[in-house]
Amino acid sequence: MNGLLGPMMVIVWKDLLLELRSKDIVVSIVVFGLLVVVVFNFALNNIPGRSEELAPGILWAAFAFSAILAMNRAFVRDQEQGGLEGLLISPVSRDAIFLGKALTSLIFMLLVEAVLLPVYAVMLDFSALSWYLILTIFLGTLGFAVVGTLFSAMAVQTRSREIMLPVLFFPVLLPVIIAAVEASARAVGGETFIGLGRWLPLIGVFDAIFLVICPWVFSFVVEE
Amino acid sequence: MASSQSMERSGGLQFPSLKTVLAVITGVMMLVDLYFIFMVAPTDAVLGHVQRVFYFHVPIAIMSFLAFFVVFIASLMYLFKRSPKWDAFAHASAEVGVIFVTLALITGIIWARPIWNTWWTWEPRLTTTLILWLIYVAYLMVRSYAPTQSKGAIYAAVVGIIGFVDVPIVYYSVVWWRSIHPSPVVGPFAKSDSLDGTMALILLYSFITFVFFFAYMVMERMELRTTEEALGRIRFALRRRGE
């Protein structure tokens, strides 16, 4: 099993199966995501006229907080029952473990977002039927998943792990959040091409850089 | 080891350590710097005395960026070589860097209130500096919350690398964000071209002073860490004997 894709898919399938049987991550995050929107709606006084201006911000605040919750769980199950050690002993490259874990987080987040987006579109009154919005969400979530998985692998080992992850995650992910909010505002507002030309590539560049760096440093993080 | 002991015993002339030399140079340069800033530097015609905070603010801000560059290089070297020396170097630079960033933010706020008439503005440099502060505070946190010291060193090195790579991206994202939401605050940065000759010289001198100050602080911190580790070993040995 020296290939990359084979072991990756086995890891993804293992986590998906666990999730399918327990359903504790996706369901709880969807509920949390709905709560965030309710809170922001009142905190920001979202009256009908301002909805288009506020919606992208609320959308990405909710996605970012949901991502934190999902990432916090990414390694907990492995940590609690010694599964991570088993994974590390198995003859699988560290890259495959990292990419498998990141792909699992990406799938979980995209599932959550697929449920939340139509609900948000109704509650916040914007049109979710935009390819640019969907592309933005995909690229932004990819960035969350890649960096989040790395930090999660570190945070799960530390004391006060629930706090450590957001403290590491938010400052580093700030460019993605800024770019995603701006790109979404343009996608939702209909002025599709203005500004998208720089925000989407910014997220793309971020994703590319960290897709190279994170698997590499992950091998140091999990070594004994 | 033997030679240094014999030197102590003979009571002959002993060269002071590099750290002591640095401490003396830094102290003298600092005093001269204060004299230059408050006595020699001309008062700015437009901004008045507040402008003098710039002789601290600019060198401190540049030094903090350099400190994190040092952290980046030392972290990379640590991951490749695994020598505790590189980790101690990264750790010391990060701690001093966080102090410098904190001072840069505080002196910046002191400057901003009378000049821009606001304590804070989400301008690219300010925002990037704030994010730097947050990233390297997280760096220190992850180091001390790690299960073991060696894990803490590796985690910190990872954050040191990721954080440094992230900073230019943060900067550009805020620059672009700003250009779309124009700000009522006009930055004073064009002013640096019109810096008076004496002012520029004093700024340069001040910068060199802070380079020495930084080097001294990092050395002091590294030595402190060596002491901490020695103390840890002694405690461990004592506890084992007690059992």
Question: Is position B70 within any domain?
Answer: yes
Contact assignment for B161 to A202 by CB distance below 8 Å = no
Question: Is position B242 within any domain?
Answer: no
Calculate how close chain A gets to B166, using CA atoms only, in Å.
6
Contact assignment for B135 to A159 by CB distance below 8 Å = no
Q: What is the pLDDT of residue B3?
A: 44
B179 touches chain A (CB under 8 A): no
Q: What is the pLDDT of residue A206?
A: 94
Amino acid (one-letter) located at B12: G
Question: Is position B191 within any domain?
Answer: no
Q: What is the pLDDT of residue A15?
A: 86
HEC sequence for A42-84: HHCCCCHHHHHHHHHHHHHHHHHHHHHHHHHHHCHHHHHCCHH
- CA distance readout (Å), A110 to A105, A149, A194, B222, B223: 8, 15, 26, 46, 49
Residues of B in contact with A159 (CB under 8 A): 145, 147
Q: What is the pLDDT of residue A123?
A: 85
CA-closest candidate to residue A101, choices A161, A46, A52, A147: A147
What is the interface pTM, i.e. ipTM, of the complex? 0.88
Question: Is position B56 within any domain?
Answer: yes
Question: Is position B68 within any domain?
Answer: yes
Sorting pLDDT into bands at 50, 70 and 90, what band is B112? confident
Would you say residue B180 has pLDDT above 60? no
Q: What is the pLDDT of residue B191?
A: 46
- pLDDT more than 70, % of chain A: 96
For B166, nearest residue in chain A (alpha carbons): A172
Tell me how many domains chain B contains. 1
Do residues B111 and B57 make contact, with C-beta atoms less than 8 angstroms apart?
yes
Would you say residue B125 has pLDDT above 90? no
Q: What is the pLDDT of residue A98?
A: 92
Range of the domain at B220: 19-182+197-226
Calculate how close chain B gets to A200, using CA atoms only, in Å.
11
Express each pLDDT in B56-92 by its tens digit: 888 999 899 999 999 999 999 999 999 989 999 999 9
What residue segments make up the domains of chain A, in order of their start?
2-222
Contact assignment for B154 to A198 by CB distance below 8 Å = no
Sorting pLDDT into bands at 50, 70 and 90, what band is A60? very high
Over residues B99-110, the mean pLDDT reads 92
Over residues A169-194, the mean pLDDT reads 82
CATH number of the CATH domain containing B205: 1.20.120
